[in-house]
Structure 1
Amino acid sequence: MTHTSARLWCGSAAALKRLLNLLAALMLLLMMALTAYDVAGRYLFNQPLIGASELIEIMLAAAIFLVLPTITWHREHVAVDLTEHLLPPWLRRLRDRLCHAFMAVGAAYLATTVWKLAERAARFNSVTEYLSIPSAWAMYLIAASLWLTAFTFLVLALLGEKADQAWQQQAPQQEAAAL
């Protein structure tokens, strides 16, 4: 892939990143407000909010999986690099590309598995205990986020250092536009 395609991917990824981060932030804000309302109702008025824990569980899963593609793109996963300084640069690049390709396959496998579970939950009309929210909805969201993560890993595997260069060139402009 060329440097131009890397820049095009970065531009599209930046817009998607802002959307996913906004949705995840909204989930966190709603979780905070819901928890505050539930605690106040429980301890001040002896009236807890029915189903608050269910909603918080669903929103927590959504917040985590919505930012997974962004975390992947920025390579912000937890990493321990004990031997990084011992490897020559060409071997580090090869290792990174192989790891990204392996992770793309792994994330795609997880996405497929979760999607099948969501289809089964939808087929059996599985719902949450108190609020009767269809369980499949959260599972479909998780599967879609995992597919985006798999695609992101694939792009990182194919672009390698070009992705870093393109992102570093566009990052300050995109971050300023987001503010």
Structure 2
Amino acid sequence: MKPWLGRIERGVGLLLVLLLSAMVTLTFTDVLGRRLFNTPVFGANDLTEHLMALIIFGGLPLLTARRGHLSVDLFDRWLLHPRWRLWHKAVDVLIAAVLGLIAWEYALAVPEAMAINEVSPALTIPRSWMYAFMAFTSALSAALALFTAAPRHEHLSEEAPS
């Protein structure tokens, strides 16, 4: 991996950890205020919703680049055989298509959210920027799904049945 890509990955990872820490702190403070002082943090639901979207969609490209999506390894003994490389590429294309569709839908939501001035209920935070962020990171993840290295087939090729 190129050194600058590693720095970007570490920087984004650090930012995600800070966002998650902020969300945990906010939730803890909200629950504490609600239970002990009967005074919840105003707008905590709005902030938590936006932080959650930033964390999930901010981490999506990192997860995709590392091929970290949920997978079942029940059939790896057979599917990681070199003859299944085309199958793995087809799965990568399918994943990219689904992520591309998600990006497309969020991209369509941006102008609509701007037109109707869609905002969060309590703090009136505009939603269009969040939809644009989700569209961008989904599109980036779609591209990464196509160009990330496929799983290694060689390590199981000797022991896999023919």
**TM-score, with length taken from structure 2:** 0.83
Structure 2 equivalent of residue 58 of structure 1: 50
Give structure 2 stretches of 5+ with no counterpart. 153-162
Output the CA distance in 2 between the equivalents of 1:43 and 1:88.
52
Deviations 1:45-85 (A, max 9, x none): 22211110111011111111111111111111111133221
Q: How has the CA–CA distance of structure 1 residues 132 and 88 changed in structure 2, closer, same or farther, with 3 Å as cutoff?
A: closer
Q: How has the CA–CA distance of structure 1 residues 88 and 121 changed in structure 2, closer, same or farther, with 3 Å as cutoff?
A: closer
Offset of 1:129 from its aligned partner? 0.6
Q: How has the CA–CA distance of structure 1 residues 141 and 87 changed in structure 2, closer, same or farther, with 3 Å as cutoff?
A: closer
1:154 and 2:146 matched: yes
1:36 and 2:8 matched: no
Deviations 1:99-143 (A, max 9, x none): 112211221121011111122101211111110000112211111
Within 5 A, what are the aligned runs for 1:1-179? 7-8=1-2, 11-87=3-79, 89-156=81-148, 159-160=149-150
Output the CA distance in 2 between the equivalents of 1:161 and 1:41.
48
Q: Which residue identity is paired with 1:67?
A: G
Q: Which residue identity is paired with 1:49?
A: V
Give structure 1 stretches of 5+ with no counterpart. 1-6, 163-179
* Secondary structure of 2:121's aligned partner: coil
Identity of aligned residues (%): 31
Alignment RMSD (CA, Å): 2.0
Contact 2:80 2:151 in 1 (8 A): no
Q: Following superposition, which runs of at least 4 residues in structure 1 exceed 4 angstroms of deviation?
A: none
**TM-score, with length taken from structure 1:** 0.76
Output the CA distance in 2 between the equivalents of 1:88 and 1:41.
52
Output the CA distance in 1 between the equivalents of 2:110 and 2:144.
22
Output the CA distance in 2 between the equivalents of 1:129 and 1:111.
24
Q: How many residues end up aligned between the 2 structures?
A: 152
Deviations 1:3-28 (A, max 9, x none): xxxx45xx454233223212211211
Q: Kindly indicate which of the two structures has a greater share of residues assigned to helix.
A: 1
Output the CA distance in 1 between the equivalents of 2:67 and 2:73.
13
Contact 1:23 1:66 in 2 (8 A): no
Contact 1:24 1:67 in 2 (8 A): yes
